[in-house]
Structure 1
């Protein structure tokens, strides 16, 4: 069974996609940008604020899917400037903790809306862990 996840606690999609999809024991989170859930299309100023907002959006979508940051298995981070990677990595580490999930970092010349960062992820469903799988 496939379940589409929607939460008002993270920015709603501006295109034809779900915030996340649950299938076969996993949650697939669509790329999250650093916008707030209030629909205000203004990016926070500065790299730190954008990274924190994007990670917060990721957490809210995972919670709506009844899972959490601790159940991440793979994270894809897109950055508009690879020179910012050391700081992004610091903030990411604070947020995710240890052990860290598998991760891919993709430098991009330009991200949608001029954002510094976008993050997509895959996590285990909450019920999968509680059943011993």
Structure 2
């Protein structure tokens, strides 16, 4: 198992890695909007979506992947009403690529954020 830490992003505060690679698959831990950059009490849901997907992209790049390599994505959102707005942003970022996905409405997330994303990507052969 290879641990992955994207340059320029803070290291996880808990006992986990940003991502790990095992057997050609890259597993991103749950990613929240960037602490200290996005304020959950001020920034819009759209800002949070952009931040979390931007961080996912940096982590994927650190693993030698991109959004086109993602095979599965799990999204946790606070409030079912936010689903269409997230879906719009997600569709714009992923374009024609459509990995398997689950969107799970939840009552709350850590630090008051309204979106968290977890991904699995297949690392392209070297």
Common fold by TM > 0.5: yes
Larger CA deviation: 8-17 vs 98-107: 8-17
Instruction: Give the C-alpha shift of residue 42 in structure 1.
Output: 4.9
Long gaps (5+) in structure 2: none
Determine if contact 2:38/2:51 at 8 Å carries over to the other structure. no
TM-score by length of 1: 0.88
Structure 1 distance, partners of 2:38, 2:103, is: 24
Instruction: Give the C-alpha shift of residue 126 in structure 1.
Output: 2.6
Instruction: Give the C-alpha shift of residue 98 in structure 1.
Output: 1.1
TM-score by length of 2: 0.92
Instruction: Give the C-alpha shift of residue 10 in structure 1.
Output: 2.8
Q: Corresponding residue for 1:22?
A: 21
Structure 2 distance, partners of 1:89, 1:82, is: 11
Indicate yes or no: 2:90 matched with 1:92. yes
Determine if contact 1:68/1:126 at 8 Å carries over to the other structure. no
For residues 81-121 of structure 1, give each alpha carbon's deviation from its aligned partner in whole angstroms, at most 9, with x where no partner exists. Answer: 11110010000000011131000111110001110100000
Aligned residues: 124
Q: Corresponding residue for 1:43?
A: 39
Determine if contact 1:32/1:119 at 8 Å carries over to the other structure. yes
Q: Corresponding residue for 1:34?
A: 33
Which of 98, 114, 117 is 1:116 aligned to?
114
Long gaps (5+) in structure 1: none
Q: Corresponding residue for 2:4?
A: 5
Determine if contact 2:7/2:62 at 8 Å carries over to the other structure. no
